[in-house]
Structure 1
Amino acid sequence: MGDILGLVAKRLGLGLIILLVISVIIFFMVELLPGDIAEAVLGQGATPENLAALRKEMGLDQPAIVRYLDWLSGAVMLDFGNSIVTGTSVSQTISERFANTLFLATYAAAIAVPISIVLGIIVALLRNSIFDRVANVATLTSISSPEFFLGYILILYLAVKTSMFPAIASLSSDMDFGDLLYRTFLPALTLVLVVTAHMMRMTRAAIINLLASPYIEMARLKGTPPWKVIVKHALPNAWAPIINVVALNLAYLITGVVLVEVVFVYPGIGQALVDAVSKRDFPVVQACCLIFAATFILLNLAADVGAILTNPRLRHPK
């Protein structure tokens, strides 16, 4: 147990270092953007006195390194400052949006993860069959299609032509859980189509690789049923790569939903990021990017820990 905790601590420390580097990149890349933030906020008709007052209020009269340290110290306490456009707290602005994104990602993951694992096992058992070839073509088509393209196709056939689901995922506080699932089904289905294909192919590859192992051949020679060979012998040793793939796709569900949220006008953090970029609301942009980075790093850490816990060779290295 001590070795595992030490390894987790090392991974966490490395993740914090990476997040620190990413925070530097985020802050100074925004600093390098052309134009003056104060002029963008006040417009071309602003007087020099108003520009100077706004720059002082936003801290733009201080050196960049001082502003970065102030921003980083606030970010550690989950205080990202105030929005330039609305003047409200950035944390308050994006907290509800981030909760909506987490709900959408959880909704899609609850559908995609079990389906992809089951289908991956089935196509591994039926490899080189017609079903396997059809599944490969379908998954390659899904992986090759951009999210916004799949979203518009679903809107066309499931919202415009058949009116089965709403084309816009509008949410309200008085909605019940069933209505919430109904209104967010199309964006969740778009994410499911994208991540299921990748997870299914990686599960298939992991199972096929293990089926060629000597202990699997011995289990077959003993007359063990095929399903038992998969469930009791192959699948436990395939959990490590499967967990890695699932964690990476969960990271994508949270950090890669920008296009899907824009297509369906879903009030998530991706939509908030796009709105902030269009309005040059840089505190919101920086906060969204840092949250995306932290989420991706944490899920990668979870993938590493999961792979270690499911693989005895990693738990007890020689």
Structure 2
Amino acid sequence: MTITQLHYVLAVAEHKNFTLAAEKCFVTQPTLSMQIQKLEEELDIQIFDRGKKPIQLTDVGAQIVTQAKNIVNESGRIKDIVDQQKGYIGGDFKVGIIPTVMPTLLPMFMANFINKYPKVNLIIEERTTEEIIKMLKNGQLDAAIAATPLNEETIKEIVLYYEPFVAYVPENNPAYLKKEFDVEDLEINLSSILLLQDGHCFRNNVLNICKATSLGPSSHFQIESGSFETMVKLADEGLGMTLLPYLHTLDMTGKHADKLRHFKEPKPSREVSLIYSKKELKLHIIEALRSTISGVVRGAIAFNNVAITSPLHKK
């Protein structure tokens, strides 16, 4: 049994296709198939049910995959230990970022980080919070940037910044005349708030601000969108107000900027953190990422009197 064989097993288990798994492992399909077959012969069991399409794990195969993940992850830590001992900051580093943070934060720090640490190959993936938690636990991500706190015992959180929520209010809404918002203004206007679709932690943030478990559907339309731009355009059409993260509002000018309403202190805000598994050993790269991001956001976000809202759904 070899680590390479276990890598191949994990690739097939993930992609459920030998050809695609071989491409992801940068080997030929016959080579990958032969190595998996040798492992199955050594163990005298079938890991995959090849008669099903797509390929499925057998019952014992599922147990082997679980153990193989642990073995492969732990074997990779040997190089991490050596790199950290030598002070080497380089190699592949996989980072997940939630969709409502990715468009604004990534352009702020990416070029700076690449210039400062050219030997690090950042692999960025846009993922939901639920996916990030699962991938961190499985060792599929080295770190992630997400709204916190998440209350996960196996995950470490380092706060990067606190980002206030900003209301975007069309002229036809009575709240447009207010210069500053109270949280009570949202509770009064529950039926007119446009939200991102289920699955976005930003939606949960807003619901928690409003102390609501859900918003009643509009009597005129229903929409599921993961785009702030869509919410802004609908608000511009007079179909309701929406809430935006502060960084998303910095590029707004003219008529769009006129529709922004900030909250009174303490400003309802979300906590954005760099998170990683407590078993993670690439702490030198994590610290490099943290210091780079903190350096660039410090000038853009400097809010202290904030009220943090949870990204978790409150039932």
Q: Normalized against structure 2, the TM-score is what? A: 0.22
Which one has a larger percent strand, Structure 1 or Structure 2? Answer: 2
Which one has a larger percent helix, Structure 1 or Structure 2? Answer: 1
Higher RCO, 1 or 2 (CA under 8 Å, sep at least 6)? 1
